[in-house]
Chains A and B, each alone.
Chain A
Amino acid sequence: MTPEHLPVLIPLATLVATLVVPFCGQRRGRAAFWVASAGTLAALVFALGGLAHTAGGGRVAYRLAGWQPPVGIELVLDPLSAFLCAVVAAVALLVLAHSRRIAARELAGRLTPFYAAATLLVTGLLGIALTGDLFNLYVFLEISSLAMYALLAVGDARAPVSSFRYLLLGTAGASFYLLGIAFLYMLTGSLNMADVAALLPGVLDSPTATVALVLVALGIGLKMALFPLHAWMPDAYAHASSPAVALIAPIGTKVAAYVLIRFFFFVVDPEHARSALPLLDVVGYLGAIGIVWGSVMAIAQDDLKRMLAYSSVAQAGYLAVGIGLASPLGLIGAVLHVLNHACMKACLFMVSGTLRRELGHSRLSALDARTRRVLPWTSAAFATAALSMIGLPPTAGFFSKWYLALGALERGRWLLLAAILVSTLLSAVYFFRVLERVYLRAPAADAAEIAAPAPVPGEGGIAWATLPTVALAAGLVVLGLLNARIVEVLLRPMLPPGL
Chain B
Amino acid sequence: MPAPVLVSSLVPLAAVLVSLAAVPLILLSARRPNLREFWTLAAAFAKLALVVALLPGALAGRVAETRLLELSPGVALGLRADPLGVFFALVASALWVLTSFYSIGYVRGAGEKRQTRYFASFAVCLSATVGIAFAANLLTFLVFYEVLTIATYPLVVHKESREAIAAGRKYLAFALSAGVALIAAVAWTHTLAGRLDFVAGGLLEDVALAPGAGRALFLLFLGGVGVKAAIVPLQSWLPAAMVAPTPVSALLHAVAVVKSGVFGVVRVVGFVFGPGWMRELGLDLLLAGVAGATILLASLLALKQDNLKARLAYSTIGHLSYIVLGVALLSPAGFAGGVFHLATHATMKITLFFCAGAIYVHLKKDRISQLDGVGREMPWTMGAFAVGAAGLAGVPPVNGFLSKWLLCLGSLEAGAPWALAVLLTSGLLNAAYFFPIVHRAFFRPAAAQSDEAKRKGEASPLLVVPLVTTALASLALGAFPDAALGLFELARAVAVSALGGGGAS
Q: Is the CB of B150 within 8 A of A424?
A: no
Residues of chain B with a CB closer than 8 A to A417's CB: 184, 187
Residues of chain B with a CB closer than 8 A to A406's CB: 187, 190-191
A residues 372-431 in Cβ contact with B at 8 Å: 387, 390, 392-394, 398-399, 401-403, 405-406, 409-410, 417, 421-422, 424-425, 428
Known: A406-B191, A436-B165, A440-B165. A394 touches B143 (CB 8 A): yes
A24 within 8 A of B: no
B157 within 8 A of A: yes
Residues of chain B with a CB closer than 8 A to A436's CB: 165, 168-169
Known: A392-B179, A410-B191, A488-B73. A432 touches B184 (CB 8 A): no
B residues 229-257 in Cβ contact with A at 8 Å: none
B249 CB to closest chain A CB (Å) equals: 19
B450 within 8 A of A: no
Residues of chain B with a CB closer than 8 A to A403's CB: 72
Known: A393-B143, A405-B187. A484 touches B165 (CB 8 A): no
Q: Is the CB of B172 within 8 A of A432?
A: yes
Report the bound CA distance from A301 to B143 in whole Å: 31
B306 within 8 A of A: no
A203 CB to closest chain B CB (Å) equals: 37
B residues 129-181 in Cβ contact with A at 8 Å: 142-143, 146-147, 149-150, 154, 157, 160, 165, 168-169, 172-173, 176-177, 179-180
Known: A424-B176, A425-B180, A428-B176. A393 touches B147 (CB 8 A): yes
Q: Is the CB of B187 within 8 A of A402?
A: yes
17 further A-B contacts with Cβ under 8 Å, apart from A409-B187, A424-B176, A488-B73, are: A392-B150, A393-B142, A393-B143, A399-B72, A402-B183, A402-B187, A409-B191, A421-B184, A432-B169, A440-B157, A440-B160, A440-B165, A440-B168, A481-B77, A482-B69, A484-B70, A487-B73
Q: Is the CB of B183 within 8 A of A405?
A: yes
Q: Of the candidates B71, B157, B177, B183, which one forms a contact with A484 in the assembled complex, judged by CB atoms under 8 Å apart?
A: B71
Query: Can you name 28 A-B residue pairings with CB atoms under 8 Å?
Result: A387-B150, A390-B176, A392-B147, A392-B150, A399-B71, A402-B72, A402-B183, A403-B72, A405-B183, A405-B184, A409-B188, A409-B191, A417-B187, A421-B180, A424-B183, A425-B177, A425-B180, A428-B172, A436-B169, A439-B154, A440-B165, A440-B168, A442-B160, A481-B77, A483-B71, A484-B71, A484-B72, A488-B73
| 1/0 contact string of A460-499 vs chain B (CB within 8 Å) | 0000000000000000000001111101100000000000
Residues of chain A with a CB closer than 8 A to B176's CB: 390, 424-425, 428
Report the bound CA distance from A387 to B70 in whole Å: 21
Residues of chain A with a CB closer than 8 A to B168's CB: 436, 440
Q: Is the CB of B72 within 8 A of A483?
A: yes
| 1/0 contact string of A75-100 vs chain B (CB within 8 Å) | 00000000000000000000000000
Q: Classify the interface of chain A: helix, strand, loop or mixed.
A: helix
Report the bound CA distance from A394 to B169 in whole Å: 22
**Which residue on chain A has the smallest CB distance to residue B187?**
A405
Residues of chain B with a CB closer than 8 A to A421's CB: 180, 183-184
Report the bound CA distance from A392 to B179 in whole Å: 9
**Which residue on chain A has the smallest CB distance to residue B145?**
A393
Residues of chain A with a CB closer than 8 A to B165's CB: 436, 440
Q: Which among B69, B147, B179 has the highest number of chain A CB atoms within 10 Å?
A: B179
A447 CB to closest chain B CB (Å) equals: 17
A136 CB to closest chain B CB (Å) equals: 35
**Which residue on chain A has the smallest CB distance to residue B160?**
A440
Residues of chain A with a CB closer than 8 A to B142's CB: 393
Report the bound CA distance from A124 to B176 in whole Å: 40
A221 CB to closest chain B CB (Å) equals: 27
A282 CB to closest chain B CB (Å) equals: 24
B120 CB to closest chain A CB (Å) equals: 12
Report the bound CA distance from A189 to B349 in whole Å: 79
Residues of chain B with a CB closer than 8 A to A440's CB: 157, 160, 165, 168
Q: Is the CB of B69 within 8 A of A481?
A: yes
| 1/0 contact string of B53-94 vs chain A (CB within 8 Å) | 000000000000000011111010100000000000000000
Known: A402-B187, A409-B191. A394 touches B180 (CB 8 A): no
Q: Is the CB of B188 within 8 A of A401?
A: no
B240 CB to closest chain A CB (Å) equals: 16
A43 CB to closest chain B CB (Å) equals: 30
Residues of chain A with a CB closer than 8 A to B169's CB: 432, 436
Residues of chain A with a CB closer than 8 A to B70's CB: 484-485, 488
Report the bound CA distance from A410 to B69 in whole Å: 25
B residues 320-334 in Cβ contact with A at 8 Å: none
Q: Is the CB of B69 within 8 A of A394?
A: no
Report the bound CA distance from A485 to B180 in whole Å: 25
Report the bound CA distance from A432 to B168 in whole Å: 10
Report the bound CA distance from A390 to B176 in whole Å: 10
**Which residue on chain A has the smallest CB distance to residue B70?**
A484
Report the bound CA distance from A422 to B191 in whole Å: 20
Q: Which among A401, A439, A482 has the highest number of chain B CB atoms within 10 Å?
A: A439
Residues of chain A with a CB closer than 8 A to B177's CB: 425
Report the bound CA distance from A487 to B75 in whole Å: 13
Residues of chain B with a CB closer than 8 A to A398's CB: 146
Report the bound CA distance from A399 to B184 in whole Å: 13
Residues of chain B with a CB closer than 8 A to A392's CB: 146-147, 149-150, 179
A373 CB to closest chain B CB (Å) equals: 12
Report the bound CA distance from A484 to B139 in whole Å: 13
Residues of chain B with a CB closer than 8 A to A409's CB: 187-188, 190-191
A344 CB to closest chain B CB (Å) equals: 16
Residues of chain B with a CB closer than 8 A to A394's CB: 71, 143, 147
A398 CB to closest chain B CB (Å) equals: 8
Q: Is the CB of B73 within 8 A of A393?
A: no
